[in-house]
């Protein structure tokens, strides 16, 4: 999901840059305060770990392969603030040394994969697992959070591309969200397998590492939440808001003629009317996403039962 240079226009690059800088700044401050000195080298090693893991391909259906992003995994293992620092470091190195991800897109990539993929994913993880000590519950939460955050990050990415005028929203959304719904499954599966493996080898690691970040003070939670919400408002909401219009149109075509076609709340930069089939594809993708969320939760539940035998529970 690394956006290269040239795909984002100046305003989008600037906006994401500001959001990313804010997020990393807050994360660094929190880490400096909360992380014990002896864990500082762990940030660097964890970054190398995430990078190394991202280099591993895992087989997906039909001969293609996917790559792990590792946002939720990192956040579960290190806490959300440390995860932001780690993921930012990974993206910076990938950008400067690999040219994987553009320099002007660094802000967007950090926002998408670090803040949305990592922090929002962690929030979902916490929401689902509570502060339960049960490994099974943690696995369910991890799988679900990993899938959701992957899909969510891809949606924000699509929004950024659309806002820049590079790709039309419907095309971007359909393509990115649908592909990442599949990739997200792999992400969830690997996250679960790794969490279980670590729980087997060093259960103390799962407890202690995230503990420092488990109940963060008000400030980081507030700021992260604010930044992510801003991002969603800027990059997703304008497009999602035009859906009621789309639904209206579909309803009108199907015969509910008493409903008048409303104008979109915020006009999309690239009108879709030139490509009639695309908008319904986007709607179909959205629907698939909603259904997918429920399905993945169920899958997560089953997976946790399979992976965590009675003894470890």
Site for other proteins in 258-297 (CB under 8 A): 270, 274-275, 278
What residue has token string 């939440």? 225
For other proteins, the closer of residues 43 and 252 by Cβ is: 43
For other proteins, the closer of residues 19 and 199 by Cβ is: 199
Q: Which of 18, 34, 134, 175 binds other proteins (CB under 8 A)?
A: 175
For other proteins, the closer of residues 1 and 234 by Cβ is: 1
CA-based nearest residue to 7, from 153, 79, 109, 76: 109
Q: Does 58 bind other proteins (CB under 8 A)?
A: yes
Q: How far apart are CA 140 and CA 125, in angstroms?
A: 9
226 CB-near residues (< 8 Å, 6+ apart):
none
For other proteins, the closer of residues 24 and 183 by Cβ is: 24
Q: Which of 22, 34, 39, 221 binds other proteins (CB under 8 A)?
A: 39
Q: Does 86 bind other proteins (CB under 8 A)?
A: yes
Among the candidate windows 108-116, 118-126, 159-167, 236-244, which touches other proteins by CB under 8 A? Answer: 159-167
For other proteins, the closer of residues 193 and 251 by Cβ is: 193
Q: How far apart are CA 169 and CA 43, in angstroms?
A: 36
Structure tokens given for 171: 């095309």
Q: Minimum distance between the CB of residue 288 and other proteins, rounded to whole angstroms?
A: 18
CA-based nearest residue to 91, from 66, 112, 75: 112
Size of residue set near other proteins by CB under 8 A: 78
Would you mind telling me the total number of residues written for the chain in this entry? 313
Q: How far apart are CA 171 and CA 83, in angstroms?
A: 31
Among the candidate windows 113-121, 124-132, 158-166, 258-266, which touches other proteins by CB under 8 A? Answer: 158-166
DSSP state of 242: T
Q: How far apart are CA 90 and CA 45, in angstroms?
A: 11
For other proteins, the closer of residues 246 and 251 by Cβ is: 246
Q: Does 52 bind other proteins (CB under 8 A)?
A: yes
Q: How far apart are CA 40 and CA 90, in angstroms?
A: 16
Q: Minimum distance between the CB of residue 186 and other proteins, rounded to whole angstroms?
A: 9
């Amino acid at each position: 999901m690394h956006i290269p240079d040239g795909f984002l226009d100046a305003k989008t690059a600037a906006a994401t840059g500001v959001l990313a800088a804010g997020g990393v700044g807050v994360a660094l401050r929190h880490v400096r305060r909360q992380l014990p000195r002896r864990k500082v080298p762990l940030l660097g090693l964890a970054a190398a770990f995430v990078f190394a893991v991202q280099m591993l391909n895992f087989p997906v259906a039909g001969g293609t392969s996917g790559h792990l992003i590792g946002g939720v995994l990192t956040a579960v293992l290190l806490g959300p603030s440390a995860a932001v620092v780690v993921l930012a470091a990974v993206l910076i190195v990938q950008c400067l040394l690999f040219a994987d991800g553009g320099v002007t897109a660094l802000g967007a990539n950090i926002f998408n994969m670090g803040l949305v993929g990592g922090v929002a994913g962690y929030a979902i993880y916490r929401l689902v697992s509570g502060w339960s000590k049960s490994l099974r519950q943690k696995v369910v939460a991890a799988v679900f959070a990993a899938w959701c955050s992957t899909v969510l990050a891809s949606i924000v990415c699509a929004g950024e591309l659309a806002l820049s005028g590079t790709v039309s929203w419907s095309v971007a959304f359909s393509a990115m969200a649908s592909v990442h719904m599949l990739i997200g499954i792999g992400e969830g599966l690997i996250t679960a397998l790794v969490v279980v493996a670590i729980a087997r080898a060093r259960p103390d690691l799962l407890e202690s590492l995230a503990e420092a970040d488990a109940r963060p003070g008000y400030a980081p939670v507030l700021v992260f939440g604010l930044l992510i919400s801003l991002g969603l408002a800027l990059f997703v909401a304008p497009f999602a808001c035009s859906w009621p219009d789309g639904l209206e149109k579909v309803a009108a075509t199907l015969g509910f003629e008493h409903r008048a076609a409303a104008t979109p709340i915020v006009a999309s930069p690239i009108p879709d009317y030139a490509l009639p089939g695309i908008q319904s594809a986007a709607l179909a993708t959205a629907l698939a996403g909603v259904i997918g969320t429920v399905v993945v939760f169920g899958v997560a539940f089953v997976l946790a039962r399979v992976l965590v035998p009675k003894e470890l529970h």
